[in-house]
Structure 1
């Protein structure tokens, strides 16, 4: 088997395990907080919000740092640092004796994060150009599968093993995945050449990358994509209740509506990634932005649960082509030797969307309602499509900036 295929398989499994570990606490987090001694419902909800968000807050600030170090010392080193670190921290969460300890561990988990951008950078720089879109789609599918199945696996394990055992099992699986990556993942990386370059700061690196005008557009796509997806997510169960009523299987339908987008995304990502290798990632990205934006209009007009499920499924198909296309284009436009930093800033845009989407959606829900939030998401995606058309359509990858050549 070709080396790039082995890297892709191992890192896709790693993406699945990492995203599963990040999301499997969602179904039982409030219950675990109660087990740690908090009984007041308001306090439980408050702690749950802080604990779940703590990981994304620190990840937003630290991703660019790990990207910078990854470009200097190698992507595999940073990938293993994150994977082994997460294995240890996840195991320690099972020993937490208070919500504060759990919050600090989640914050620390965000600090040492960086597996995803390191994996993307390694795959993008070690995969044949004609296979890059397909590889990004497969890698994206691994992460999406983990995000979808993580809460489901967490809920089952909570019933079978108890809350604390989940962290021990997850930590062990992450450690085993890290060992597999240690021995099977190989990277073509010229360490001497990387160290010979001037060691510019994060701010300097950001300024160099921002001179490549295509990159801000791609970061904007990442932010808008996550923002629009998550702005309505906390309100989906209430919307399902309005459509379905307080009858039987309400929780089932709410979960189905929440996961159907991820399921269609999972299947669409590798297919659209392969198609982008044939017709170009810019065309796939533009079509997916327009298609996803238009899918939000019928969501604001649905009158029953089945209509909502159908439209959310279609939305996931278009969403499946966005991130792989963005990742491929970042690789194409980024100056040589700065790929990990570019992906680090993209991960920060992703984390920012994860944070701001639910906050904004919750704040606006009392003013415009969830149907208004759907229209807002539509307008943001269509505006982003116009920006992509202006900055990316018919553009060749930019030459290496003068600032980078001097380094």
Structure 2
């Protein structure tokens, strides 16, 4: 088996477990905070929201830092650091004596994360060019499926084994990731002897920084679109069904439908991007996703929203692989880790913003406006991609991405 394929298998498993570990705490956080001594309902809601969101905010800050370290010392050391660190920190959450320690550990989790960023950089730089879109598409399914299954696994483990075991179980999985990474990931990394570049100097090295910014914006809006419905889905399903007996189950199905479709479609769309170009897949996906959001505001039954969310997953499945493929083509390999790190920051910020913005729009304007505004953002993003990225890349012959610096 080729080295890049073996690395892809290990990185898929590690990324899946990492995202599972970051998301599995969502359904059990309020219960665990109550167990730690907070009994006021309003306080539980506030502390739960902060404890859940702070990890993503801190991760957004530290992702570029770990990306820089990956460029300096190699990607495998970053994989080992993140997997072992998360194994310790997440396991320790199960032993937290009070809510302050728990929040501190959640902050620390955000600091030490970076496994996904290092994996994307490793696969993006190692994979043969003709297979890079497919490989990054496969890797993106790990993030989606981890985020998708995390809340369900967390809730299930709580039911059968208790709250604390959920943390111990995830920590054990991260320890297994560390062992597999140590034994099976291979990287021939030659440290650069050049002087360490500042962020400003990094941007100067890019052939066209504007293209990278467009990719960051797309990553942000993609996650915002996915998570804008998360805080309101249960209320929306309740309004549609008129029967509260199965609202939680149907809500979970509605939220998970897009993730399931993305898992199915991402590798195929990644392979398609290798053939026709990632910029084409990205533009088409944004337009289709924008249209699919609109009818979600007019559905009359929960099953209609589930079907539309499933269709949305197919539409957006090609976005993450296309973004990562373009980063690989545009960014010089010596600074690829930092560029992927900045892109992951946009990803985390979009996740956090979507959860906040969706609830705020619904409370002030109504649930239907969440879909209208999100659709508008996707259409605006599509216009930006077409005018600032697609038209520029269309002028460049296939395989000549080094000429990007000539495009104005």
TM over 0.5: yes
Partner of 2:83: 83
| Aligned-pair CA distance for 1:109 | 0.5
| Aligned-pair CA distance for 1:259 | 0.8
Which runs of structure 1 show a deviation greater than 3 angstroms over 4 or more consecutive aligned residues? Answer: 206-211, 398-402
- Seen in structure 2, the aligned counterparts of structure 1 residues 296 and 400 have a Cα distance that, compared at 3 Å, is closer
Partner of 1:246: 243
Partner of 2:119: 119
Give the alignment partner of residue 337 of structure 2, picking from 333, 340, 350.
340
- Give the 5 Å matches for 1:44-83: 44-83=44-83
Higher deviation after alignment, 209-218 or 119-128: 209-218
Give the alignment partner of residue 373 of structure 2, picking from 360, 371, 376.
376
Partner of 2:350: 353
Partner of 1:18: 18
Distance 1:207 1:245 in 2: 57
- Give the 5 Å matches for 1:129-208: 129-191=129-191, 194=192, 196-206=193-203, 208=205
| Aligned-pair CA distance for 1:247 | 3.6
Q: Deviations over 1:254-307 (max 9, x none)?
A: 111111111111111111111111111111111111111110111111111121
Partner of 2:307: 310
Partner of 1:405: none
TM-score (norm 2): 0.94
Q: Deviations over 1:339-366 (max 9, x none)?
A: 1000000011111111222222222223
Higher deviation after alignment, 122-131 or 383-392: 383-392
| Aligned-pair CA distance for 1:201 | 2.3
Partner of 2:101: 101
Q: Deviations over 1:179-234 (max 9, x none)?
A: 1111111123222xx1x112012344355449422101111100111112222220
Partner of 1:283: 280
Aligned residues: 399
Partner of 1:366: 363
Q: Deviations over 1:72-99 (max 9, x none)?
A: 1111111211111111101111110111
Distance 2:254 2:287 in 1: 22
TM-score (norm 1): 0.95
For the Cα contact (< 8 Å) 1:209–1:342, is it kept in 2? no
Higher deviation after alignment, 390-399 or 295-304: 390-399
For the Cα contact (< 8 Å) 1:33–1:99, is it kept in 2? yes
RMSD: 1.6
For the Cα contact (< 8 Å) 1:217–1:391, is it kept in 2? yes
| Aligned-pair CA distance for 1:172 | 1.4
Partner of 1:235: 232
SS at match of 2:39: coil
